[in-house]
A and B are shown apart, each in its own frame.
Chain A
Amino acid sequence: MMQRERQPKFAMISILLTLGAFILFVLATIVDPLSNYSNVLMIAGLALLAASWGIYFIGGRSLQRAEISTENVITVIGCRGCDIREERPFSEGDYVFKEVGPCKKCSGISYIRAIYSIPIKKD
């Protein structure tokens, strides 16, 4: 399943970069010894702001790709005559209460007792 929410770590980095840019602008304005480098500080601050925006937007997109999940579908086989229970991967044509031949244990009628999925998350 894909989500639209951005990961908190990307949001935090984005906020920190914006704060860094703000601090640079303030330093360039109020600290006299640094005022000689105001152009450099301004460019550095703008670069931080650009990086902050970039991370905010691109970070959200990377999450959409990360959280794709798949499923593992199991077919459970039981028997009318005994308590045997077998599990195997689902194959097309399986359905619950389908009779699947004689039981290995008691030669009774074995059938599909259940079909269910177990989610597996992929990175």
Chain B
Amino acid sequence: MNIVVVNMVIPVGQGLFPTGNDLSSIILNILWVVFFFSMILLFNQRLQIWTYQRNVEKATIKLQMLADKSREEALKSVQKYAQENTDVRSQVTAFLDFFTIEPVDRDPFGVLNRLEHLLDNRRDRFKAFVAQIAPKAGKAEAANTEDILEAAMALNFIFKVVRHYLILGKKTKSLMIFVQLDMQLPLIMKMAEAYFNAQKTFSAGKPIGDGLGPLVASKLMYGLPKRIIAEDIVCSEVDISNRKAYVLKAEGPGGLLGKPGEAVKRLVEEMSGKVARIFMVDASSKLEGENTGEVVEGVGAAIGDPGPEKYKIEEVATKYKIPLDAIVCKMDLEEALTTMKKEIVEASDIIIEKIKKAIVERTKEGDVVIIAGIGNTIGIGQ
């Protein structure tokens, strides 16, 4: 019976596309046409959705794994400095959803002052939280713990956003949501992996690629007296070819950024604007194809803050007509957030030579210059 049915549907001896006039050949041909058009017209988009959805689901599972692992890593780091019998887990888990609302910019007047105020609030809340849950941590350890929590928060946020769009795509059965998400996944995953690896580096207190600016400043000021010039910023006077250079950086070796804009502003105001040049050294994101550790010169305030610190430097430089020189070292996001590579360490010596040469060429003997090493100073003392 089965053989008869099979022979009717697929006539043996006539191939898959029979040309005979018998009933079974006609039925088979009709079935082929129906199958073909149903695949093209009815199930085509379903198949595409299924393929994209599958990719997004896999990525979401991986992001969840990274977010969970980073939360555990944060807990482990906090527990080292926590009091016994403290419920660290619930406090840290709740803190990972901490958010900051950006100031309204429809009326842009004073928006940077308002942003700075909010960023100060945010930093104070972070410091207070770490002091509360990890009271045994010293200044450097507390700063590193703040960075560890920042990385865990970033991963938690990325995971939640991707999961949101996955669920939204499933609910609406929208191919567009899945396509857009799938296209962006390589960059999203790269970013998530960068934060995940960064957290390990922060836990160990190793210097990161973004610490290039502080490393350059430290090499110039090592062994000289230092003073605190602004929040978490140290400054030294260095003689370079009979010019007085004020070198500043965030106070290490904890993971601090400080307020370099405020420091530059105070220094310039202290000297009533009699500063010949301001040199800024920072890490810069490289374009694909560029080499890590490549040193490039330009003009402007080389600082990647959300705005307030950069604004202060630009404002004070404009007020006193002080030229701003920028020297940057190229690296990608992962290299900026993870352990400093050998190429970047080598670039710091090249930058010092470039600064010394520029000072000799662009200033006169007896002039005053400011050299600001911008970046996270984790793992770099002074």
Complex Cα–Cα for A30 and B10 (A): 15
A2-B189, A38-B16 in contact; A116/B342 too (CB < 8 A)?
yes
Q: Is B275 in the interface zone, CB < 8 Å from A?
A: no
B-contact 0/1 string along A14-29, CB 8 Å cutoff: 0000000000010011
Question: Looking across the interface, which residue of chain B has its beta carbon closest to that of A2?
Answer: B193
Contacts of B252 in A (CB 8 A): 95-97
Complex Cα–Cα for A35 and B25 (A): 13
Please tell me if the beta carbons of A96 and B381 are within 8 angstroms of each other in the complex: yes
Please tell me if the beta carbons of B15 and A71 are within 8 angstroms of each other in the complex: no
Contact with A38, one of B10, B223, B382 (Cβ below 8 angstroms): B10
Chain B residues in contact with chain A, CB under 8 A? 6, 10, 12-17, 55, 59, 185-186, 189-190, 193, 204-207, 215, 218, 222-223, 252-253, 334, 338-342, 344-345, 379-382
Jot down 27 A-B pairs with beta carbons below 8 A, ordered by A: A3-B186, A4-B185, A35-B14, A36-B13, A38-B13, A38-B14, A39-B12, A71-B339, A73-B339, A90-B206, A95-B205, A95-B380, A95-B381, A96-B218, A96-B252, A96-B253, A97-B222, A114-B345, A115-B379, A116-B207, A116-B339, A116-B341, A116-B342, A116-B345, A117-B339, A117-B340, A118-B342
Q: Is A93 in the interface zone, CB < 8 Å from B?
A: yes
Please tell me if the beta carbons of A4 and B189 are within 8 angstroms of each other in the complex: yes
Complex Cα–Cα for A43 and B119 (A): 66
Q: Is A120 in the interface zone, CB < 8 Å from B?
A: no
Contacts of A39 in B (CB 8 A): 6, 10, 12
Which 7 pairs show the lowest CB-CB distances between chains A and B? A95-B253, A117-B339, A97-B381, A35-B15, A116-B342, A96-B380, A29-B15
Please tell me if the beta carbons of A29 and B379 are within 8 angstroms of each other in the complex: no
Please tell me if the beta carbons of A97 and B344 are within 8 angstroms of each other in the complex: no
Question: Looking across the interface, which residue of chain B has its beta carbon closest to that of A25?
Answer: B16
Contacts of A83 in B (CB 8 A): none
Question: Looking across the interface, which residue of chain B has its beta carbon closest to that of A109?
Answer: B223
Q: Is A92 in the interface zone, CB < 8 Å from B?
A: yes
A: interface residue count bin? 20 to 34
Contacts of A29 in B (CB 8 A): 15-17
Chain A residues in contact with chain B, CB under 8 A? 1-5, 25, 28-30, 34-36, 38-39, 41-42, 71, 73, 80, 90, 92-98, 114-119
Contact with A1, one of B10, B16, B193 (Cβ below 8 angstroms): B193
Contacts of A80 in B (CB 8 A): 223
Complex Cα–Cα for A71 and B302 (A): 29
Complex Cα–Cα for A57 and B211 (A): 40
Contacts of A4 in B (CB 8 A): 55, 59, 185-186, 189
Complex Cα–Cα for A29 and B10 (A): 12
Q: Nearest-CB distance from B69 to chain A (Å)?
A: 14
Question: Looking across the interface, which residue of chain A has its beta carbon closest to that of B382?
Answer: A97
Please tell me if the beta carbons of A38 and B380 are within 8 angstroms of each other in the complex: no
Contacts of A73 in B (CB 8 A): 206, 339
Q: Nearest-CB distance from A70 to chain B (Å)?
A: 10
Contacts of A25 in B (CB 8 A): 16
Q: Nearest-CB distance from A103 to chain B (Å)?
A: 15
Question: Looking across the interface, which residue of chain A has its beta carbon closest to that of B140?
Answer: A95
Please tell me if the beta carbons of A96 and B15 are within 8 angstroms of each other in the complex: no
A96-B379, A97-B218 in contact; A28/B189 too (CB < 8 A)?
no
Contact with B334, one of A1, A34, A38, A98 (Cβ below 8 angstroms): A1
Contacts of B14 in A (CB 8 A): 35, 38
Complex Cα–Cα for A41 and B14 (A): 13
A1-B193, A97-B222 in contact; A35/B13 too (CB < 8 A)?
yes
Q: Nearest-CB distance from B318 to chain A (Å)?
A: 34
Please tell me if the beta carbons of A97 and B380 are within 8 angstroms of each other in the complex: yes
Contacts of B379 in A (CB 8 A): 94-96, 115
Complex Cα–Cα for A57 and B184 (A): 19
Contacts of A116 in B (CB 8 A): 207, 339-342, 344-345
Please tell me if the beta carbons of A115 and B193 are within 8 angstroms of each other in the complex: no
Contact with B207, one of A2, A5, A36, A115 (Cβ below 8 angstroms): A115
Complex Cα–Cα for A25 and B381 (A): 71
Contacts of B59 in A (CB 8 A): 4
Identify 15 new A-B residue pairs, CB closer than 8 A, beyond the known A96-B381, A116-B207: A2-B193, A25-B16, A29-B16, A30-B15, A38-B10, A38-B12, A73-B339, A94-B205, A96-B218, A96-B253, A97-B218, A98-B253, A115-B207, A116-B342, A117-B206
